[in-house]
Amino acid sequence: MVRRLRDRNRATVEHLSRDALDVRELKRLGLLKHRAMSLETGFRWPSIDRIISERFWLVLENWGRGTVQQIRVSWTRCHLGGWRPWMHCPSCGKRVAKLLKGLGGYLCRSCIGDPLYACQAKSTYGRIHFELCKIRLQLGGMASPTEPFPERPPRMRRKTYERLKARAFELEMELPAKRRKKPVDYPNLVYYLT
Ligand SMILES: [Zn+2]
């Protein structure tokens, strides 16, 4: 029987997202204004030293590697008024909210080679375990299914809590007891903590 081998070293979307450029975050940081602005990025994006921007473009500078990358920015009108920014992938031109960091600089998800989401890169039980951990973290509890199930967070709607809890129990039923003790995949789960 021929089986597809999972590449365990393949970077997941979650992994790549830590260094990702999110256009909403850039706007929040005060970039993308009508006049030219510059931002020293510090530790937030280790591979970028400075971002220079104006309303319709961004320039990423990396002095260490002597690279400069230019990214086009466009705006669309929101339903509730106001405008929201988009970046255009420097390779294919596609309009996206996030660019991921690859070896050749920042590109859209498909130009970077369509990395998988962590759950897609896992076995069936791995996927169940991952989703279960994710729900538990969303509820502010301990990720591991061996820990007690979290209470409803004070600011969460009762209906939302009941739905997530029902889903978690459904997943738990599918997970053999032995698999519950599997180590928690924190490197990929941090992506879902906001
Ligand atoms: Zn692209």
CA-closest candidate to residue 184, choices 149, 145, 141: 145
Helices (H), the chain: 13-17, 23-28, 124-138, 158-174, 177-180, 186-189
pLDDT of residue 61: 92
CA of 103 to the centre of ligand 1 (A): 14
CA of 1 to the centre of ligand 1 (A): 36
CA of 93 to the centre of ligand 1 (A): 6
CA of 92 to the centre of ligand 1 (A): 4
Each of the 194 residues of the chain gets a pLDDT tens digit; together they read 555 555 555 678 887 778 899 999 999 999 999 999 999 988 888 889 999 999 999 999 987 777 889 999 999 998 888 999 999 999 999 999 999 988 778 999 888 887 788 888 888 899 999 999 999 999 999 999 999 999 999 999 999 999 999 999 999 999 998 899 988 988 888 777 75
Q: Rounded distance, CA 35 to CA 30, Å? A: 11
Helices (H), 29-157: 124-138
pLDDT of residue 81: 87
pLDDT of residue 46: 85
CA-closest candidate to residue 185, choices 131, 111, 107, 114: 131
Q: Rounded distance, CA 11 to CA 14, Å? A: 8
CA of 14 to the centre of ligand 1 (A): 18
Q: Rounded distance, CA 39 to CA 18, Å? A: 18
pLDDT of residue 186: 85
pLDDT of residue 16: 79
Give me the torsion for CA of 177, 178, 181, 186, rounded to 10°: -100
CA of 152 to the centre of ligand 1 (A): 40
CA of 180 to the centre of ligand 1 (A): 38
CA of 107 to the centre of ligand 1 (A): 5
pLDDT of residue 38: 92
Question: What sign does the dihedral 136-45-101-57 (CA atoms) show?
Answer: positive
CA of 112 to the centre of ligand 1 (A): 7
Q: Rounded distance, CA 172 to CA 179, Å? A: 10
Domain chopping of the chain, boundaries = 13-107, 118-192
CA of 94 to the centre of ligand 1 (A): 6
CA of 32 to the centre of ligand 1 (A): 21
